[in-house]
Amino acid sequence: VSASLDRTLKVWQLGSPTANFTLEGHEKGINCVDYYHGGDKPYLISGADDHLVKIWDYQNKTCVQTLIGHTQNITSVSFHPELPIILTGSEDGTVRVWHANTNRLESNLNYGFERVWTISCLKGSNNVALGYDEGSILVKVGREEPAVSMDASGGKIIWARHSELQQANLKALPEGAEIRDGERLPVAVKDMGACEIYPQTIQHNPNGRFVVVCGDGEYIIYTAMALRNKAFGSAQEFVWAQDSSEYAIREGSSTVKIFKNFKEKKNFKPDFGVEGIFGGWLLGVKSVSGLTFYDWDTLDLVRRIEIQPKAVYWSDSGKLVCLATENSYYILTYDSDQVQKAKDGSQVAEDGVEAAFNVFGEVNEAVRTGLWV
């Protein structure tokens, strides 16, 4: 494909001196063009002196979207080869990052290096090089961690490669085989098909029968074996209960909904709002005031704790829980008998049952991920 100051794009076939077809729509000269790298969309993107970025369907020969926001000539456009983002650079000095599925502006980068001239993405990496009048910058986009989940039995792993889901079975490894630390495992990879949303997180439920894929403010629950769609919806966050048939979602910053067997069971608005939710033996809700634990079945308040964790990890028995904050983590013991006793005696205070948790220890180390073994 070629871009020209005559305001057109032309698509050519190698060996032919005549263009297959011409795309028209820009009002001024076109400076840059790029093809979409995936196989699921016949798209290309162009940037022009009319300050507009256009996405084209080269099969239907139509413009499917115009990205508006730059205030000067567009000098560089790029579909990221790995992530669902579009990068656009302009003589206005900014690089804009757009979501490739929703076409929503995600970020506006301005490093004060004058005009942007080039954007280059490295395949297989999160690194993006930006070239300006005053120099060049290397930036890292997206997350380092892949979207991946292993079931509780440690057998099956599901991960996302772009929008495609793949699976491997570790139990298919030869018995008694010695595997060195860091060695690549010789497992057969099975293609599960494409997901309707771009996976940002993947998580098995406790019994491993279902897997939830979350991304772009939506979730889809699939059967783990055949990837059949069981349920879907909109949510900012999704967590499984210890009971494999139960889960919760967060809608916005005010509402939590509980589902049982894929049907909504209850919903409520916590007193102090919702900044995040955590699954496991109890439903955890993080707010400006701290962390509140609720009973999954009754939604009764179990305990308020003045900690704002970034992650909560329950042991398999439900008797221990780890609360990980930015710079430290706490190990607490949980006594469900004390909670029941307080309920039976109608002795639940405003902040819940004081005897529900006891601090077992605190460690001043930052936690990246956690798992009870």
For residue range 135-148, what is the model confidence (pLDDT) as tens digits? 999 998 876 677 89
Q: Are 30 and 7 in contact (CB under 8 A)?
A: yes
Which tokens hold the place of 364?
Answer: 């001043």
pLDDT band at 154 (very low <50, low <70, confident <90, very high): low
pLDDT the model gives residue 131: 97
Q: Is the per-residue pLDDT at 365 higher than 70?
A: yes
Q: Residue 37's pLDDT is what?
A: 87
344 SS3 class: helix
Beta strands 95-99 and 85-90, pairing class: antiparallel
Please compute the mean of the pLDDT values over residues 288-317 and round it to a whole number: 92
Name the amino acid, one letter, at 301: L
Q: Which CATH architecture has domain 148-307?
A: 7 Propeller (2.130)
Torsion of CA 232, 222, 191, 236, to 10 degrees: 40
- Indicate the CATH number of 2-140 among 2.130.10.10, 2.40.160.20, 3.40.50.150, 3.10.20.740: 2.130.10.10
Q: 324: part of which helix (H) or strand (E)?
A: strand 320-324
Q: Which two tokens stand for residue 146?
A: 């892949």
**Nearest residue to 77 via CA among 7, 139, 30:** 30
Contact predicate 220/195, CB 8 Å:
yes
Nearest 5 degrees, angle CA 247-CA 325-CA 366?
120
Residues 58, 134: Cα–Cα separation, whole Å: 36
CB-count exposure of residue 308 (10 Å: 0-12, 13-18, 19+): middle
How many percent of the chain have pLDDT more than 70? Answer: 99
Distances (CA, A) of 255 to 244, 245, 287: 22, 21, 12
Residues of the chain with CATH 2.130.10.10: 2-140, 148-307
29 C-beta neighbours (distance < 10 Å), count: 15
Please report the pLDDT score of residue 144 as a whole number: 65
321 has a pLDDT exceeding 80:
yes
pLDDT digits (tens, 9 = 90+) for 182-239: 888 888 889 988 888 888 899 999 999 999 999 878 999 999 988 899 999 999 999 9
If you average pLDDT over every residue of the chain, what do you get?
91
Percent of the chain with pLDDT over 90: 65
Average pLDDT over residues 21-38: 94
pTM passes above 0.85: no
The phi-psi region of residue 216 (left if phi > 0; otherwise alpha if psi is between -120 and 50; otherwise beta) is left
Q: What per-residue confidence (pLDDT) applies to 82? A: 82
Give residue 292's pLDDT: 94
Question: What pLDDT, on a 0 to 100 scale, did the predictor assign at position 239?
Answer: 97
Is 143 in a helix, a strand, or coil?
coil
pLDDT top residue among 101 and 157: 157
